[in-house]
């Protein structure tokens, strides 16, 4: 029996159908594990519900996506229960890091095996682990090798926007993944023209990285809140920006600025929007000025871009 909300629910099916109707080609499913704090060495796969139940709901959601003609990316996240950012994880001495990698490898392999089972098209080996990617290259390469042994699809890593040029193992993956929360504005009041100029500089830098690594670039997350000046710090949670004021046109301008610069580039594989909720009718999950573009001008902007004919090389990177 389907649950009332969340992955695998009837309302999730509605969300999947709405996303397909926008012209999107993919969805990203983001299961969560948890750590107690930044010093913990244990990653627990249970988050809010038991892991076995979570896996079953992911299977159902993937089946919904397939029925709607959407391809699936599995992007497991680790949530730090203390509320701190995962990019600052630091268990301490080398032996503690070894324990962390052992636990994280078990976590990543479990969801990689699930991704293989459901035929997911893309799997992210991690999300925003900035504190370790450049310092523990050998451990990350070992993890990638272990994932390759259980999952036969394409792999990426979801680097934080200010980490992407420091990741040393892009050659071991199929795409350069970026959680693309660059500050698009420089000062309050900056609008579309400034965001477009900033997006152009970002695109030029990423083009150099793509050519150097011989890998396409994929925005594994990209979002701007529907609030004035939210592109100054697009990574901030909506509840920290309630005083900015609701402005859905600002969000639409940000999407137009970014896609206007990135979509024509043949090395750009696309973007996953942060975020759409699995229950499209639950308005308690974030404030109105939050990230979700559903029912806003931002969604209209996305639909215009998803409905365009992009260069085949930008769309077919994961089709070979």
pLDDT of the residue at 315: 40
Burial of 101 (0-12, 13-18, 19+ CB in 10 A): buried
Write the DSSP assignment of 145-199 as a string of letters. HHHHTT--SEEEEEEETTTGGG-S-GGGSSEEEEE------SSTT--HHHHHHHH
* pLDDT attached to residue 313: 44
pTM for the whole thing? Answer: 0.94
Q: How many C-beta atoms surround the C-beta of residue 188 within 10 A?
A: 9
- Residue 6's pLDDT band (boundaries 50, 70, 90)? confident
Q: Do domains 1-142 and 174-320 have the same CATH topology?
A: yes
- Cβ neighbours of residue 85 under 8 Å, at least 6 residues apart? 128
CB atoms within 10 A of CB 309: 6
Place of tokens 């370790």: 132
Q: Which pLDDT belongs to residue 49?
A: 87
Q: In which residue are the tokens 């397909």 written?
A: 20
End-to-end CA distance of the chain: 37
Domain map (residue ranges) of the chain: 1-142, 174-320
Which CATH fold would you assign to the domain 174-320?
Answer: TIM Barrel (3.20.20)
Query: What does R_g of the chain's alpha carbons equal in angstroms?
Result: 19
**pLDDT band at residue 310 using 50, 70 and 90 as cut-offs:** low
CA dihedral angle for residue 18, residue 20, residue 23, residue 26, rounded to 10 degrees:
130
**Are 276 and 19 in contact, with CB atoms under 8 Å apart?**
yes
CATH architecture of 1-142: Alpha-Beta Barrel (3.20)
Band the pLDDT of 71: cuts 50, 70, 90: very high
Q: Mean per-residue pLDDT for 235-254? A: 87
pLDDT at 311 over 70: no
Structure confidence at residue 238 as a pLDDT band (50, 70, 90):
confident
The pLDDT tens digits for 18-48 are: 999 999 999 999 999 999 999 999 999 988 8
pLDDT digits 0-9 by tens, 151-185: 999 999 999 999 999 999 999 999 999 999 999 99
């Amino acid at each position: 029996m389907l649950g009332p909300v969340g992955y695998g629910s009837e309302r999730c099916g509605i969300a999947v159908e709405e996303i397909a109707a926008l012209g999107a080609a993919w969805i990203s499913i983001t299961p969560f594990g948890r750590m107690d704090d930044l010093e913990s060495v244990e990653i627990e796969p249970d988050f809010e519900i038991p892991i076995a139940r979570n896996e079953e709901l992911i299977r159902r959601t993937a089946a919904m996506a397939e029925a709607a003609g959407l391809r699936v990316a599995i992007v497991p996240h680790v949530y730090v229960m203390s509320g701190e950012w995962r990019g600052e994880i630091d268990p301490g001495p080398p032996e503690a890091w070894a324990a962390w990698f052992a636990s994280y490898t078990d976590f990543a392999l479990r969801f990689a095996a699930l991704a293989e089972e459901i035929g997911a098209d893309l799997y992210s080996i991690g999300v925003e682990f900035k504190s370790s990617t450049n310092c523990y290259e050998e451990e990350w390469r070992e993890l990638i090798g272990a994932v390759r042994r259980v999952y036969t699809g394409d792999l990426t890593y979801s680097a934080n926007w200010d980490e992407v040029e420091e990741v040393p193992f892009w050659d071991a993956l199929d795409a350069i993944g970026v959680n693309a929360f660059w500050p698009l504005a420089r000062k309050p009041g900056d609008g579309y023209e400034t965001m477009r100029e900033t997006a152009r500089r970002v695109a030029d830098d990423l083009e150099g990285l793509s050519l150097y690594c011989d890998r396409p670039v994929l925005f594994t997350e990209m979002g701007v809140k529907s609030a004035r000046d939210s592109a100054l710090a697009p990574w901030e949670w909506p509840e920290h920006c309630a005083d900015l004021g609701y402005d859905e046109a600002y969000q639409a301008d940000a999407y137009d600025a970014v896609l206007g610069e990135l979509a024509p580039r043949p090395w750009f594989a696309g973007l996953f929007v942060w975020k759409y909720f699995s229950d499209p009718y639950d308005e308690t999950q974030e404030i109105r000025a939050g990230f979700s573009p559903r029912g806003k001008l931002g969604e209209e902007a996305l639909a215009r871009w998803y409905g365009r004919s992009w260069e085949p090389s930008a769309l077919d990177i994961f089709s070979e």
